Amino acid sequence: MRRDLEFGVLGPLEVRRGQYLVPVRGWREQTVLAMLLLADGATVTVERLVEAVWDGDPPCSAVKAVRNCVSALRRRLAEAGEPAVPIQAIPAGYRLPLGARLDMREFRQHTDAARQLANAGLTAQAVARLRAALGLWRGPALAGCGGAVIRGCAARLDEERISVLEGCLDLELALGRHQQVVSELQALAREHPLRERVWGQLMLALYRSNRQAEALDAYMTLAKRLAADLGINPAADIAGLHEAILRHDSSLDSSAEPDLLPAAATGVARWPGIRSAGKTPRPAQLPLEVPGFTGRTAELVRLRELLPPAANAERAKTTVVVSAIVGTAGVGKTTLAVRFAHEVAGQFPDGQLYADLHGFDAAESPAEVSSVLGGFLTALGIPAKMIPDGADRQAALYRSLLTGKRMLVLLDNARDTAQVRPLLPASPGCLVLVTSRSPLTGLVVGEGARPLGLHALTATEARQMLASRVGPDRLASEPDAADRLIGACAGLPLALAIAAARATARPWLRLTDLAAEVCDIDRMLDALETGDPATDVQAAFC
């Protein structure tokens, strides 16, 4: 029974008839044949063959030598009994007709069929075709054959193979075969330590095999390798998968229906069954900005200097910025922090977290670190039942969730450094603003916080603030009273805000009378009482 010649490039160059290997001797003949096979029926110009054989440095006799190679190949194929597969000469060069059997073509026919099956929802059949395609490979493409041109073409073929394998593993994960593919993925990750898609598949397979710790360890291995070799963090979808594993996200279950999205080689899903894994909540917890904010120009400039300019991307990748805004009660620390946080929120696309730590509240005890962390974890999408016990474990989970994120964290009214330290993220690119009456020296020394001392408003700033709240005309009509009011409030924004609120609520009241109330030490606290502990001067200073 007559057998056709079979050509192979998915491994060492091979010409076979049944069990018989047809020898192709000499590197020139091998290179010319490999180039013709890689073209898969298309014409290869003589110039291209010359370039491939001599790597761009041909002798004067190169064209003649290529023609001799083609003649030798024709004889060899004819001796093998294959006159039906001649190498055709055309004006531009040479071509090998499509009638020849070629493993590369069969590989692509299988992957094309798998794409159609996958898009039709026939996942198991698609996997079978992909495994058949992968079974055609005998090793690295064109191993040991040719120079730079051949190696470049072979590298693209090898990349095509690994992409198809990744697609096949995606579908097998979608079929619930996670335990069957773990070993293959572990070997693949060792072979390709920088391929994030492979590591993501390995993480998912381990997690579904009830090996969560190993899945998280795989992520850390990848993150360390990327940082060491390339100076980058894992991609957003890998980080999202990591977060989903931390949260025990139900979208990771093997029963989840896969998304079959077109892919370059196979048309199969990238992350089957984890449609929402990367869609973590984006908290936006900043308090309302105080309308009519005035003054603090110099302080805002100093705060803006904390952030690297857009051109300095490297600093943003390596710095966790912590600013400690400190000052006496009522001096406007929170108002300034909230104002600045709203101004720069757009530079932190992963969201903003806020907590009032009640460090110096008269009516409430300082917030427990565990309680604050629990609130942050909930805001970051962790179900209450999944939040671990103990502040240390909660802090570790919190830091893990913020890995690779650009998050703004505002910690208001901190008692001391011990209350703040567990709430600091470790991810470069985050900004933490802390307000406190305490100098937070430990935070400055230990965490490199940038201190910003806040003092009373200047007379000009205080006048601007009053004018913005009671109206410039009313203020101008009683300038002496306005000065006495500013002096009685000691330039403290909280006291000025309360005085302005009283003036606004009683438009018939002369500023002279209000200034008299505030200037009377026995009546001052009553005059500045609001009934709200958060804005009450007496509560603030007691």
Q: What is the pLDDT of residue 162?
A: 92
* pLDDT-above-70 percentage for the chain: 86
Q: Within 80-195, where are the H helices?
A: 103-119, 123-134, 148-174, 178-191
d(CA 77, CA 84): 9
Q: What is the pLDDT of residue 107?
A: 94
DSSP string, 164-180: HHHHHHHHHHHTT-HHH
Pairing of strands 88-90, 20-21: unpaired
Sign of torsion over alpha carbons 165, 170, 176, 180: positive
- Sorted by where each starts, the structural domains of the chain and their CATH numbers stand as 1-161 (1.10.10.10), 297-453 (3.40.50.300), 459-541 (no CATH)
pLDDT in tens, 169-215: 999 998 999 999 999 999 999 999 999 999 999 999 999 999 999 99
Q: What is the pLDDT of residue 540?
A: 45
Report pTM. Answer: 0.52
Nearest Cα neighbor of 434 from 534, 306, 296 is 306
Nearest Cα neighbor of 37 from 75, 6, 65 is 6
Compute the half-sphere exposure of residue 493: CA atoms within 13 Å on the CB side of its CA: 24
pLDDT band at 420 (very low <50, low <70, confident <90, very high): very high
Q: What is the pLDDT of residue 122?
A: 86
d(CA 376, CA 369): 11
CA 401 to mean position of chain CA atoms: 11
What's the token pair of residue 431? Answer: 């900004």
pLDDT band at 1 (very low <50, low <70, confident <90, very high): very low
Q: 3-state class of 95 per DSSP?
A: strand
pLDDT in tens, 78-94: 777 655 557 888 888 89
**Whole-Å CA distances, 474 to 512, 513, 522:** 11, 13, 26
With 80 as the cut, is the pLDDT of residue 268 above it?
no
Least confident of 27-36, 229-238, 313-322, 496-505: 313-322
With 70 as the cut, is the pLDDT of residue 455 above it?
yes
d(CA 186, CA 203): 10
